[in-house]
Amino acid sequence: MSENEAAEAAAWWRTVLGEFPTGVALVTTTDEQDEPMAMIVGSFVAVSQDPPMVGFLPVAGSGTFAALQAKRTFSVSVLGANHEMLSRAFGGRAENRFELAEWNTSPAGDMRVADALAWFDCELNAVHEGGDHVVVLADVRDYGVGDGGGGLPLLFLRGGYGTFAAPSERFDASDLSRKLRMVSRLRAIITELAEQHGVGVLLGALAGESVVVLAEASGWTVGEEPREHEEFGVSFPFAAPMSPALVAWAPEARAKQWLEGARHLIGAVDRAGYAELLEQVRKRGYAISAGRTMIERFDEVIASKGHDRAELVALWKAIQRDHEVQEGSGALSSLQIPIFDEHGHSVMEIVVTGLDLVGEAELQRIIASAFEAARVSTELIGGRRDPGWDAVTAR
pTM value is 0.58
CATH number at residue 31: 2.30.110.10
Q: What are phi and psi of 187, to 5 degrees?
A: -60, -40
Residue finishing a domain among 144, 164, 184: 164
Same domain for 197 and 140, yes or no, is no
Each residue's pLDDT tens digit in the chain (395 positions)?
Answer: 777 777 777 777 767 766 778 899 999 999 999 999 999 999 999 999 899 999 999 988 899 999 999 999 999 999 998 899 999 999 888 889 999 999 999 999 999 999 898 999 999 999 999 888 899 999 999 998 876 678 788 988 777 787 775 444 455 566 667 777 788 889 999 999 999 999 999 999 988 888 999 899 987 644 444 444 456 678 888 999 999 999 999 998 899 889 888 877 776 678 888 999 999 999 999 999 888 777 777 877 776 655 566 677 788 888 887 776 554 445 788 999 999 999 999 999 999 998 878 889 999 999 999 999 999 999 998 999 999 999 999 87
Same domain for 177 and 61, yes or no, is no
When divided into structural domains, the chain yields a total of 2
In this structure, are residues 209 and 172 in contact, taking their beta carbons and an 8 Å threshold? no
Same domain for 139 and 174, yes or no, is no
Residue finishing a domain among 164, 185, 203: 164
Same domain for 359 and 245, yes or no, is yes
What pLDDT does residue 287 have? 95
CATH number at residue 314: 3.30.450.40
What pLDDT does residue 267 have? 67
In this structure, are residues 191 and 60 in contact, taking their beta carbons and an 8 Å threshold? no
In this structure, are residues 283 and 266 in contact, taking their beta carbons and an 8 Å threshold? no
Give the Cβ contact number of residue 13 at 10 Å: 10
Same domain for 45 and 121, yes or no, is yes
Same domain for 143 and 180, yes or no, is no
What pLDDT does residue 328 have? 43
**Cis peptide preceding 51, ω within 30 of 0:** yes
Residue finishing a domain among 134, 164, 194: 164
Same domain for 158 and 28, yes or no, is yes
Look up the domain containing 76 and give its range.
3-164
Q: Which letter does DSSP use for residue 165 in this model?
A: -
